Every structure is written in structure tokens, then in C-alpha cells.
């Protein structure tokens, strides 16, 4: 049974969900329960507010934002602990995405999108409060197959769009955007806290 689920990712026939009871649940696509790992704490396979979660499509590894422990935990496809990183760089990581070469992590308390390579070496930060394109309170972000990045920001009532060179190329102003995705027709779909908690399509 799920309790306040926070993050979700799908890869192949697996669904992984992070939830408020500080655990990760593994389901089949038909909803059949497979396994569960994790508990509250600071050690390996222990979590404090797990949220963003993603799967490496190339090797099945699972990356989890362990938000209040200021780190990313990496598990095997069988949810066995492998490693962790970010302890001295991240502060309240909320969301995470991968492409072939890089790992993208959205930080909450110092609003910033960190870009690491697959060797876990920090390459670049593309947004931060008070520098360049300002982001105040982002919750999630979207990374498409062409490496375009969309970041909804509740604090500035906008969605910032970055190209594959990490340049801000467009900004959409809309009240209180939070969750975001793009459909197969390249329409931007946004969940908004404003206007009666609506769904907007651009």
C-alpha cells in the first residue's frame, strides 16, 4: 500500500515509487507488487524525504533524491545499495533526470540545476537565485529526448526553457506552475496551483 507517494518513474515493465514512509516500492506495470526497500535514517538504503526518482535505461540502476539527507542514492535494478554522491554539493535535491551522458539534479534550497557526468563529476550549474535567469522555487523539471529542459517555477510564475547548450531560449509566464511534461505533439502540459488547481496546455 502506498502512503503519500512523491516520485514515480517507469522503465520497461517496472514502476518505481518513492513515498513519505521513506521507502521505495517496486511494481510491475500491471500493478503487481514486487518489492520494497528503505526506512528512515542517514545510512545506506535509509532515507529522509525521498522524492525524485529515475532509472538508467542502459544498466537499470535507480537514482533517488534523498532530499533531507542532501544526497543521491544509487541502487541496482534489484534495489540493492550501490553508492551515493552529492553530499558536499547538494542541498535538498528534489528531482533528477538522466540522458546518455549526464545526470541532471534540481536543488531546492539553493535553486539550481546541477549537471554531473556519469562519473559523478559536477560539470555545470545552469540556474541559481540572483544570477542570470532567476528561479525562486522550482519543484520539478522535464528533460526531453533532444535535451531541452523545461523548469516550472512557482516563485516567479514562469516556465523557463533551456536548449541542449543550457541557454535559456524562452520563458512562459503562467501562475504557480508546478508539475510539467510534454506530449508526443510537443505540447507543454502544466499543473498549476492557481486558478482552481488547473491543468494548462501550451
Does residue 101 share a domain with residue 16?
A: yes
Residue 62 lies in a domain: yes
Q: Do both 15 and 91 map to the same domain? A: yes
Q: What is the pLDDT of residue 138?
A: 84
Q: What gap in Å lies between CA 202 and CA 26, rounded to an integer?
A: 33
- Where is average pLDDT lowest: 7-21, 44-58, 110-124? 7-21
Averaged pLDDT, 2-18: 82
97 and 150, same domain (yes or no):
no
Q: How close are the terminal C-alpha atoms of the chain, in Å?
A: 35
| CATH number of 9's domain | 2.120.10.30
Number of neighbouring beta carbons within 10 Å of residue 51: 25
The SS3 call for residue 142 is strand
The answer to the question of residue 161 being in a domain is yes
- Do residue 95 and residue 191 come from a single domain? no
Is 42 part of any domain?
A: yes
Tell me the pLDDT of the chain averaged across its residues.
88
Question: Do 56 and 117 reside in the same domain of the chain?
Answer: yes
How, if at all, do strands 142-143 and 149-153 pair? antiparallel
Q: How far is CA 70 from the centre of its chain?
A: 14
Whether 106 and 21 map to the same domain: the answer is yes
Per-residue pLDDT tens over the stretch 89-141: 999 999 999 999 999 999 988 788 999 999 999 999 987 555 555 677 788 89
Residue-level pLDDT at 51: 94
Quick check: 142 and 156 in contact, CB under 8 A?
no
Q: Is the pLDDT of residue 147 over 90?
A: yes
* Total domains, the chain: 2
Q: What is the pLDDT of residue 153?
A: 87
Q: Are residues 179 and 80 in the same domain?
A: no
Decide if 151 is inside a domain. yes
Q: Check whether residue 16 and residue 105 sit in a common domain.
A: yes
> 164: domain CATH number?
2.40.10.360
62-95 pLDDT, tens per residue?
999 999 999 999 999 999 999 999 988 999 999 9
Give yes or no: residues 5 and 99 share one domain: yes
The answer to whether position 69 is within a domain reads yes
Cα(185)–Cα(76) distance, integer angstroms? 34
Are the CB atoms for 105 and 138 separated by under 8 Å? no
Q: Any idea which residue has 537514482 for its cell?
A: 63
Domain boundary among 60, 95, 125: 125
- Yes or no: say if 61 and 20 are a contact pair by the CB < 8 Å rule: no
Q: Which domain holds residue 109?
A: 1-125
Identify the domain boundary among 105, 125, 145.
125
Same domain, 3 and 92: yes
Highest mean pLDDT among 3-12, 25-34, 96-105, 148-157: 96-105
Residue 130, in any domain of the structure: no
Residues 145 and 96 in one domain: no
Nearest one of 60, 65, 39, 31 to 50, comparing CA atoms:
65
* Residues 115, 42 share a domain: yes
Task: Look up residue 150 and give its three cell numbers.
Answer: 523545461
147: left (phi over 0), alpha (psi -120 to 50) or beta: left
Amino acid at each position: 500500500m502506498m502512503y503519500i507517494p512523491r516520485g514515480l518513474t517507469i522503465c520497461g515493465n517496472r514502476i518505481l515509487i518513492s513515498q513519505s514512509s521513506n521507502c521505495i516500492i517496486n511494481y510491475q506495470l500491471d500493478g503487481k507488487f514486487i518489492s520494497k526497500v528503505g526506512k528512515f535514517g542517514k545510512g545506506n538504503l535509509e532515507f529522509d524525504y525521498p522524492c525524485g526518482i529515475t532509472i538508467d535505461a542502459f544498466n537499470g540502476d535507480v537514482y533517488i533524491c534523498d532530499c533531507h539527507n542532501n544526497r543521491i542514492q544509487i541502487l541496482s535494478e534489484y534495489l540493492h545499495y550501490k553508492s551515493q554522491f552529492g553530499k558536499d554539493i547538494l542541498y535538498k535535491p528534489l528531482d533528477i533526470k538522466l540522458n546518455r551522458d549526464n545526470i541532471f539534479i534540481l536543488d531546492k534550497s539553493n535553486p539550481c540545476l546541477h549537471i554531473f557526468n556519469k562519473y559523478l563529476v559536477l560539470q555545470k550549474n545552469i540556474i541559481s537565485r540572483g544570477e542570470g535567469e532567476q528561479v525562486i522555487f522550482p519543484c520539478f523539471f522535464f528533460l526531453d529526448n533532444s535535451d531541452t529542459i523545461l523548469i516550472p517555477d512557482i516563485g516567479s510564475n514562469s516556465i523557463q526553457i533551456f536548449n541542449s547548450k543550457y541557454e535559456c531560449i524562452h520563458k512562459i509566464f503562467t501562475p504557480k506552475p508546478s508539475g510539467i511534461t510534454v506530449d508526443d505533439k510537443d505540447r507543454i502540459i502544466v499543473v498549476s496551483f492557481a486558478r482552481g488547481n488547473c491543468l494548462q496546455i501550451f
